[in-house]
Amino acid sequence: MPAAKDNERKLNMDGILTVVCFILLLIIVVIPIFMIIYNAFFFEGKFSLDLFTTQMTDSKNLSAMWNTVQIAILTTIIGTIMGVFYAWLLGRSDIPAKGLMRALFNIPYMFPPFLGAMAWDLLLNGRSGYLNKWLRTTFGLSQMPFNINTIWGIVFVEVSYYFPFVFMQVVSALERMDPTLEESARIAGAKQGTVIWKITLPLMKPSISAGALLILTTSLAHFGVPSILGYAQGIYTLPTRIYAVIYNSTGSFEGIRQGAALSVMLVVVVALALILQNKILSSGSYDIIKGKSMRPTLIKLRGAKIPLLILAIFTLVLIVLVPLVMIFLISFIKAYGLPLKFENFTFAQYQKVFNMNGTLDSIKNSLILSISAGIISMFLGTLVAYVVQKIKPKGKEVLEVISVLPYSIPGTVLSIGVILAWSGAIFGISLYNTLWIILIAYIARYLSFSMKTSSAALLQVHSSLEEAARVCGASHTESLSDITLPLIRPAMVSGFFLIFLPAMREVTTSILLYGPKTMTLGVKIYSLRDAGMIPQAAALASVAIVIIIILNTIVTEITKERKGV
Amino acid sequence: MANVRFENITVGYGGHMVLKDFSLEVQSGQIVCLVGPSGCGKTTLVRALLGLNKPETGTITVGDKVLFDAKKHINVPAEKRNIGIVFQDYAVWPHMTVIENVSYPLKKQRRPKDEIKQRAMHALEQVRMTEYANHLPSQLSGGQQQRVAIARALVTDSDVVVMDEPITNLDAKLREEMLLEIRMIQNRLGATILYITHDQQSALQLCDKMAIMQPDGSLCQFGSDEEIILNPANRFVFEFIGVSNFIPVVSMGGKYALDCGEKLPLPAELNPGNENIAGKELGVRLNDVVFDKQSPLRAKVSSRIFLGSEYNYFLRLGQKEIRVQQDMLAARLYGTPEEGEEIGVTFLNPHYYDPKPPEQAAAVVESGKKKKFSLFGKGA
C-alpha cells in the first residue's frame, strides 16, 4: 500500500533529524569535553592522578586559582551593586535623559573587555601610564598615584564591562513590575526607603541573581583583562595560566596535557561557584510581572537629582568614553611614550598596520569565521531546538543539556578540548592550524545562543499550525518549509547576529587555536600589543571598534524592521 | 457527501487507554455533535480521523474510502485524507494573509491559479470575509480569524468537516451568530460536520444528532437532542446535559419516601411502577420542579431571583435545598411565591438513578489526568 509507505517515510524523517542531531553534538561538544577529562586523568592508556596532583600542588597554579576566585567574587559583588543601583536610578527614578543614558550604559556590553584593559593600561600603568605621569608631574608626587596592574585594577576593568549583565536584567524587570505591589506597601504605611528595601529589592532578587550568576561565571572564565593587566606583574588567573603553560611549552603535547589538568581545575571552580551561588541566592521565582502593561510610578529624587545625575554621567565618561578616546588617541601617536600633543599625531600607524603581513587576513578570517559560525550554529541550533521541542525523542533532555553545556565551560577549556580532539587523535584527523578548528570551537561555544532563541520561537508555534497544514494537504516536509520555518525565521536571524557579533571580537578561544595563517582580528590586536607595537595595536583596535559599531547599527536597524511587521 | 464510520477504535498514549473499542457512525450530510467532559477523548478521536495519531486497533472509513485499518495496515497520511478541520485555536497561519491562508489547501492540490483565486474568494464570501482578503490574521478579531479557519476548511469542498470547539474563545453574541452561520453553511454545502464541544448548550442549538462520551472515553448515548434530553441513557448523560436536583429515596413502611434530612412520603404519582427505587436517587431538572398548591410535598421559598426571562428559586424541602427554574409561562400558570412563603411542589419527568458510587470521586481525578494526556496529544 503506497499510503502506508508514505507514513513510514515521515516517521523516518523525524528519526533522521534526531540521529543527525545527536551525531553533530557528539562531534562538536561531547568529544572535546571527553578528551579533556581523558587526558587529564589517563596517561598512555592508564589511569593516573600524577599529572593532576603535580598540577594541584604547584604553588603558581594555586595562586592562580586563588586570584581567579578573588577577582570573580569581587567583580560579582561590585558589579551587582552597581548594576542594581543604576537599574533602579534609570528604571524607577525621575532622573533626566533616561533613554540616552540607558543606551550608553549598554555600550560596554558591545565591546571586548580586553580593549578596555588595553586603554586603562595605557592610562594607569604603574610605570608609564599617561594619566599617572600627568598626575605625578602636575601634583609633584614622588611616585605614580595609581597602578592598574593589580587585582583591584583587573576587578575595576571587569566590573565596567560586566555590570551591564545585572543592569539589563534588573532594569527590564523593574519596568514590567506590577506597581500595585509597591503602592499597597505605601498605602499600608511604609516609607519610600522601606518600600525599596523590603518590597522592590526582594522582588527583584531572581533577576539580580540571574545577572550576578552571569557575571560570576563570565569573570571566572575570563581571559582578556587579566592577561593584559596581570602578565607584567606576574598576576595569573587560571585561564591566563592555562594559556601561559601552553604558550611556554610551544604547543607540545605535555603542555597541552598540563593545560587539560588545569582546565579540569577551572571547571571544578566554576561548578563550585555555581553551586555556592545557588545555595546563597536560592529563592522561588515570583510571579510579579503582569501581562498588562502598567507604568510603575517614578520616584522623585528632589535634591539628590543633580548629584546623582552627575554621578551617572561621571560613571559613563569613566567606563565608556575614556577607554574609547584613549584607544583612538594612541592610534594616532607617532611613537608610544610621546606626549599626547597634536604635533605628535599622524595617520602613519594605520598605514603601517595595514601594510603589515596578516592584518587584512585577520579581518578576513574573523569575518569568515563569525559569518560561517553564525550560519552553521543558526541551523544546527534550530535543528536541536526542533528535535527537542517538536519531535520529543527519548533522551531529549540529554540533547538539551549537551547543546547548552559548552557555554558554561570556559572558552580556554573548550579550546584545549578541541585541540586534543582534532589534532590527529581521532581517525588521524588533524585540523590544527586551520580555520576549521577555530570554527568548530566557535560553533560549540555559541550553539546554545541560537538553540535558545529558536527554542523560544518554536514554543510560540503551536503544533496545530503544522497539523492544519498537514490536513490541508501538505506533506511533513512541506508543512515544515511552508509554516514552521517562515514563522521562526526572525528568531533564526536574531540567533545568527547573537553569534556573529561576539564571534567577530572573540579572543579567548581563538588565542589557543590560531596558527600562522589563521589569526583572528582579536588575536592580531592582542599579539601586536604583546610585541610592544602599541600604537599599531591601538590603530587596529580602532578599526575593530568602528567595525563593531557599524555592525551593531546594522543589526539594530534590521531587528527594528522585523519587529515592525 | 459521505458518512464517517469508526469501528472498534483503540487509542492509547504511553500505556494509558484514551479510547477503547470505540465505534460510531455519522450519517452523511448531518451535523453530529460529539459532546463530553474535557479529557474524555473527543479530540483524540478526531485526531485519529485526521490521521494525526495512529490508533492501535479498528478501522476508520469515510464514504467508501478506508482511511485507516489496523489489521490491513492501511494508514492514509493526513495530507491525503481530504478532511476539513477548524482547530480550537483556529490555527490560522500568522505569516500569511487571509487569502493566502484560504488558498493554501488548493495550492497543495496543485490547482490552476485562476481556479484557486476564484474558489478561495468564494469560500471567503460564504463566511462574509471578502473585504479582509489581504489582511494579516493579526489585524483580525478572534471571530474573524475563526471565519477564516472555517473558510479554509470549506474551500476544498471536503466531504467531511471537523470542528474542534471552534467557538469557545468567542463572546456570547458572536457564538450565537457563528452557530447559525455554521448551520447555514452546512445547509448550502451538505457536508458532514463533526462538531466537538464540551458545552451542551451550543451542541443543542446546532446538531442533528448528539454523541455523548463519558470520562472513560466510551460512547454512552447517540441520538437526537430530544431523545437525549428526555430519555437520558444513564445518570452521567442526565447530569451532563443539564443541571439537576438529586434527592435520595428510601423505603418507609412498605412505601417510598424522600430523604431530605426528614423523611417525606413520595407522592403516589411520582412512583415509577414496579421498579424498586429504594436506595436510589430521584433526579429532576430545575425546570421540571413546578409549584402545585395541592401537592403534599411542602417547601419553603428561601430566595427568589428574577432573571429577565425566568425566575430562579431556592426552596427548602425538609432540610434539603433544591433549585428551581421557572419560565414566564409557568410563572403565569402557577404563580411566583414570595421569599419565606410555603408552597406545594411536584416533579415532572423524574428519573431514578443509583447514587454516585464513592469511586466516582476517584474517576474525576482520573479524568483530570486524562486531560493532560489529551493535551499532550494536541501537542500543547
Question: What separation in angstroms does the CA of A197 have from each of A191, A192, A204?
Answer: 10, 9, 11
If asked whether residues B229 and B331 sit together in one domain, one would say: no
If asked whether residues B48 and B195 sit together in one domain, one would say: yes
Q: Does residue A339 fall inside a structural domain? A: no
CB B165 within 8 A of CB B198: yes
Q: Does residue B362 fall inside a structural domain? A: no
Residue B359, pLDDT score: 55
Q: What angle do CA A262, A268, A274 make, to 5 degrees?
A: 140
Last residue of a domain, one of B176, B208, B238: B238
If asked whether residues B219 and B264 sit together in one domain, one would say: no
CATH classification at residue B249 = 2.40.50.140
Q: Does residue A338 fall inside a structural domain? A: no
Q: Does residue A336 fall inside a structural domain? A: no
If asked whether residues B232 and B336 sit together in one domain, one would say: no
Using alpha carbons, select from A292, A455, A465 the residue that is nearest to residue A378.
A455
If asked whether residues A412 and A295 sit together in one domain, one would say: no
Q: Do A473 and B84 touch (CB under 8 A)?
A: no
pLDDT one-digit tens code per residue, A266-319:
888 888 877 776 676 655 555 554 444 456 677 777 888 888 889 988 988 888
If asked whether residues A298 and A354 sit together in one domain, one would say: no
Q: Does residue B367 fall inside a structural domain? A: no
* Structural domain of B78: 4-82+158-238
Angle between helices A151-176 and A113-124 (to 10 degrees): 130
CB B282 within 8 A of CB B270: yes
The bridge status of strand B244-252 relative to strand B281-285 is antiparallel
Q: Which of residues 268-297 of A touch B (CB under 8 A)?
A: none
Q: Does residue B90 fall inside a structural domain? A: no
Angle between helices A151-176 and A98-105 (to 10 degrees): 130
* Separation CA B175–CA B177 (nearest Å): 5
Last residue of a domain, one of B238, B262, B287: B238
If asked whether residues B190 and B65 sit together in one domain, one would say: yes
Q: Does residue A230 fall inside a structural domain? A: yes
Q: Do A467 and B50 touch (CB under 8 A)?
A: yes
Using alpha carbons, select from B226, B250, B263, B192 the residue that is nearest to residue B30.
B192
Joined together, the cell numbers standing for residue B198 give 464540551
If asked whether residues B230 and B177 sit together in one domain, one would say: yes
If asked whether residues A478 and A513 sit together in one domain, one would say: yes
If asked whether residues A137 and A18 sit together in one domain, one would say: no
If asked whether residues A119 and A17 sit together in one domain, one would say: no
If asked whether residues B316 and B255 sit together in one domain, one would say: yes
Q: Does residue B24 fall inside a structural domain? A: yes
SS3 assignment, position B64:
coil
The tally of domains found in chain A comes to: 2
Q: What is the nearest CA distance from A484 to chain B, expressed in angstroms?
A: 10
Q: Do A464 and B156 touch (CB under 8 A)?
A: no
Q: Does residue A48 fall inside a structural domain? A: no
Q: Does residue B89 fall inside a structural domain? A: no
* Separation CA A249–CA A419 (nearest Å): 15
Joined together, the cell numbers standing for residue B56 give 492501535
Q: Do B79 and A483 touch (CB under 8 A)?
A: no
The alpha carbons of chain A give a radius of gyration, in whole angstroms, of 26
Residues of chain B positioned with their CB less than 8 A from the CB of A472: 79, 104-105, 108, 152, 156
If asked whether residues B171 and B319 sit together in one domain, one would say: no
End-to-end alpha carbon distance in chain A: 45
Q: Do B104 and A474 touch (CB under 8 A)?
A: yes
DSSP A197: I
Question: What pTM was estimated for this model as a whole?
Answer: 0.76
ipTM of the complex: 0.75
Neighbours of A534 (CB within 10 A): 21
If asked whether residues A306 and A420 sit together in one domain, one would say: no
Residue ranges, chain B, pLDDT below 50:
360-380
Q: Does residue B272 fall inside a structural domain? A: yes
Residue B81, pLDDT score: 87
Q: Give the one of B73, B104, B108 whose C-beta lies nearest to A4's C-beta.
A: B73
φ and ψ at B343, to 5 degrees? -150, 150
Residue A340, pLDDT score: 74
Q: Does residue B287 fall inside a structural domain? A: yes
Last residue of a domain, one of A331, A364, A399: A331
Displacement of CA B58 from its chain's centroid (Å): 24
* Structural domain of A376: 12-37+348-565
SS3 assignment, position A336:
coil
Q: Does residue A342 fall inside a structural domain? A: no
Residue B117, pLDDT score: 92
Burial code (b: 16+ CB inside 10 Å, e: under 16) for B128-158 equals ebbebbeebbeebeebbbbbbbbbbbbbbeb
AA letter at B174: L
Joined together, the cell numbers standing for residue B341 give 412563603
CATH classification at residue A269 = 1.10.3720.10
Using CA atoms of B371, B373, B379, B380 in order, give the dihedral in degrees to the nearest 10: 40
The tally of domains found in chain B comes to: 2
Residue B377, pLDDT score: 34
Half-sphere exposure of B30 (CA within 13 A, CB side): 16
If asked whether residues A313 and A454 sit together in one domain, one would say: no
Question: What separation in angstroms does the CA of B59 have from each of A5, A379, B108?
Answer: 18, 40, 27
Last residue of a domain, one of A300, A331, A362: A331
If asked whether residues A458 and A556 sit together in one domain, one would say: yes
Q: What is the nearest CA distance from A241 to chain B, expressed in angstroms?
A: 49
CB B302 within 8 A of CB B317: no
If asked whether residues B326 and B305 sit together in one domain, one would say: yes
Using alpha carbons, select from B51, B251, B241, B243 the residue that is nearest to residue B160.
B51
Last residue of a domain, one of B205, B238, B271: B238
CB contact set of A45 (below 8 Å; sequence gap of 6+) = none
If asked whether residues A30 and A69 sit together in one domain, one would say: no
Using CA atoms of A546, A548, A549, A554 in order, give the dihedral in degrees to the nearest 10: 130
If asked whether residues A127 and A270 sit together in one domain, one would say: yes
Displacement of CA B52 from its chain's centroid (Å): 22
Nearest CA in chain A to B73: A4
Residue ranges, chain A, pLDDT below 50:
1-10, 289-293, 563-565
Residues of chain B positioned with their CB less than 8 A from the CB of A10: 77
Last residue of a domain, one of A283, A301, A331: A331
CATH classification at residue B77 = 3.40.50.300
Q: Does residue A425 fall inside a structural domain? A: yes
Q: Give the one of B72, B76, B89 whose C-beta lies nearest to A462's C-beta.
A: B89
Joined together, the cell numbers standing for residue B118 give 476564484
If asked whether residues B232 and B250 sit together in one domain, one would say: no
CB A111 within 8 A of CB A540: no
CB A102 within 8 A of CB A87: no
Residue A552, pLDDT score: 81
φ and ψ at A473, to 5 degrees? 105, 10
Q: Does residue B308 fall inside a structural domain? A: yes
If asked whether residues B259 and B289 sit together in one domain, one would say: yes
* Separation CA A403–CA A320 (nearest Å): 34
* Separation CA B19–CA B218 (nearest Å): 7
pLDDT one-digit tens code per residue, B103-132:
999 998 889 999 999 999 988 988 888 899
If asked whether residues A182 and A280 sit together in one domain, one would say: yes
Q: Give the one of B75, B108, B379 whose C-beta lies nearest to A472's C-beta.
A: B108
If asked whether residues A323 and A431 sit together in one domain, one would say: no
DSSP A551: H
If asked whether residues B167 and B226 sit together in one domain, one would say: yes
